[in-house]
Structure formats: C-alpha cells, structure tokens
Amino acid sequence: MINVLWLQSGGCGGCTMSLLCADTPDFAGQLRAGGIHLLWHPALSLHSGHESLAVLEDCLAGRERLDVLCVEGALLRGPHGSGRFHLMAGTGEPMIRWVHRLAEVATHVAAVGSCAAWGGVSATGANATEACGLQYEDEQKGGLLGADFVARGGLPVINIAGCPTHPGWVLDTLMALAAGSLGADDLDPLQRPRFYADHLVHHGCARNEFYEFKASAERPSDLGCLMEHMGCKGTQAHADCNVRPWNGEGSCTRGGYACISCTEPGFQDPGHAFDQTPKLAGIPIGLPTDMPKAWFVALASLSKSATPKRVKSNATADHLVVAPAIRKTRR
C-alpha cells in the first residue's frame, strides 16, 4: 500500500473532476484494491484546516511515509519569483515552497495534468503569474524543481500529461508505482508513462476510414477527417484516447472536436486557432508523426483519387448519407 498526497496548485481542478469519472462504481474501493492510500486530497478528503496541515507536517517530519506526491495545476512563481500569487491557506507560505519541501521527502513525484507537467493553459500568453510545470516550462526542462531533480525513488517527475488527464492514466500510474513496476524505461523522453504516451490519438480513431481516403470534414458537424481543415492533431498527439475511450465510449474526435494535442508541451499556444489547420501551399504544416512531406503529398493525392463515393458523401455530412454496400464475404 502506497501513501499518496495530492495538492492542487494553479489550475481549474479539471484533472480531479476527470479522476472521479474513473470506470468504476466504487472509486474508493478501486484505490484500495490498487494498493493506493490517499493521505489527503483537497476535494476528496474530509480533513480540512489544521487537520490537513497536520498531514503535510507529518510527511515533512517523517512521521508519515510519503510515497507519491501528486501535484495538479501549474506552479505559480509570481510575482517576481516570490510565489505569493498562491499561498497555502492557513500558512501564509507560497505553495511553491510547500511543493519544494514535500518533493524532497517523497519517494516519487507526479505531475497530474499538463498544467503541472509543462505549465499548460495556466502559462498561456504573457504568463503574468510566472506559471510553470514541476520539471518543465513548456518543452524546456527546468520548471520549479529543476532539470536535475530526481525523487528518492530514483525517477524524475512523472508527467501524467493531458488537459484534463485521463482517469485511467492516473490510476494506472499509481497502481504501477504501488506494484513497484514503473521504472525509468517506462517513461518516454518527456517523462510520460509509455503505456499511454507510446500511442497516438489517431490510433483507434472512429474517423480513420475518412483519414485513409483524405475525405475531410469542412464544418464542425461533418463526419469526415478533421485533420486537413479542422485543426486535428491526432496523428501527432501522444495519447491512447481512442484506444481506451473516456467514460468507456467518448473522445474528442468521437464527439466531433479536433484533437488539440493537449498532452504535448506548448499545446495551449499553437499559433493558430484550434479549429483551423495551418497550411503551406495547400499542405498542412503539421504532418503525421514520422511521415516525410513527399510521402504525405503522394499518399494524399492517391487516396483522394481512389475515394469511394460513399466515403466522399458521408465526409461532408452530419449524418450517414450512404451506407456501406452489402457484399458476400465468404468464398
């Protein structure tokens, strides 16, 4: 059984809301079954005020073993590095100071969500609050704890990135830590758990037939592929959203929304509208991962010339216009 302490910093609390949508009728029971003991969570625990501060003090003093420190939300360093934009209630001390101290005694440290991992939406634009991630500031390593930080268990910050993060990613990470089965090789180059980050959102996408024929949606309600015109980055975004759908059946692309690559550093400031695909000479700038430009151009041209009428008609409609033909499938 591992002890998990969860702090919320600069963010919307969306990762906690997502966590409560875990695929189980008994959330507390799932934690226990996975070997996870929640020492304290600001929204889920009964303790508050001096009782909750006592839990933190016990961790710092070694009276309570702290196996995993989870931080949700960006770390607000402003103004001028003082951290006083965000004080821990009842202490007068900046949250960043508490995180620093607790990270020093924790066996593992996990950034829950893209705000805690990279700064995320909290760091968008001019970033007046000086928001950053635990060990990254966008794609640059450093963040609050520094590029060289390694927790007592031998791992750097574990970035469970996503906006919000999938409940399964959080629970699977914590259960892997409880089982002692998450090592350095199980993290990708951005320190995300490989069990979800070695996938692409494109994998399992319900619109893949439209993608194969480059039959593209032209309006938000269309059924076609969202990559060419509607800003979808599912062929570049590292996540298994369509392999393990949210709440058992949903994902952004299944709901008609383009993937905005929310597990990646800097997704919050793409330099273009989220629902638009920037192009150069009519070719999308953001090509699928691992695909050379010449290959994409050749594939797109060939695919469009071979697009069945059914696929082409359905791509620009908001409902099924032409059903698949009935064919004998046995010899």
The predicted-structure confidence for 30-76, as pLDDT tens digits, reads as follows 999 999 999 999 999 998 899 999 999 999 999 999 999 999 999 99
* pLDDT band with cut points at 50, 70 and 90 for residue 297: confident
Phi–psi pair at 104, nearest 5 degrees: -70, -25
Dihedral in degrees, nearest 10, Cα atoms 256, 259, 262, 263:
120
* pLDDT band with cut points at 50, 70 and 90 for residue 78: very high
Nearest to 232, CA basis, from 206, 197, 202, 196: 202
**What pLDDT is recorded for position 55?**
96
Beta-bridge partner residues of 24: none
135, pLDDT greater than 90:
yes
**What pLDDT is recorded for position 62?**
96
| Residue pair 217/316 in contact by the 8 Å Cβ criterion | yes
| Residue pair 35/176 in contact by the 8 Å Cβ criterion | no
The three-state secondary structure class of 278 is coil
> What are the distances in angstroms from CA 45 to CA 6, 7, 42, 230?
10, 12, 6, 41
327, pLDDT greater than 90:
no
Q: What is the mean pLDDT of residues 297-304?
A: 85
**Crossing angle (nearest 10°) for helices 50-61 and 95-105:** 40
Give me the chain's average pLDDT, please. Answer: 94
CATH of domain 2-197: 3.40.50.700
Q: What is the mean pLDDT of residues 3-17?
A: 96
| Residue pair 112/68 in contact by the 8 Å Cβ criterion | no
Of the chain, the percentage scoring pLDDT greater than 70 comes to 100
170, pLDDT greater than 90:
yes
**What pLDDT is recorded for position 329?**
85
**What pLDDT is recorded for position 73?**
98
Q: What is the mean pLDDT of residues 239-248?
A: 92
280, pLDDT greater than 90:
no
Distance CA 22, CA 58 (A): 29
179, pLDDT greater than 90:
yes
* pLDDT band with cut points at 50, 70 and 90 for residue 79: very high
Q: DSSP assignment of 234-271, as one string? A: TTT-B--TTTS-BTTTB-TTTTT-----TTSTTTT--S
Alpha carbons within 13 angstroms on the beta-carbon side of residue 273 total: 4
* pLDDT band with cut points at 50, 70 and 90 for residue 289: confident
The three-state secondary structure class of 6 is strand
Distance CA 96, CA 81 (A): 10
- Every domain range in the chain assigned CATH 3.40.50.700: 2-197
228, pLDDT greater than 90:
yes
282, pLDDT greater than 90:
no
**What pLDDT is recorded for position 224?**
97
CATH topology of domain 200-320: Cytochrome-c3 Hydrogenase; Chain A, domain 2 (4.10.480)
* pLDDT band with cut points at 50, 70 and 90 for residue 139: very high
* pLDDT band with cut points at 50, 70 and 90 for residue 287: confident
Characterize the bridge pairing of strands 136-137 and 68-72.
unpaired
- Every domain range in the chain assigned CATH 4.10.480.10: 200-320
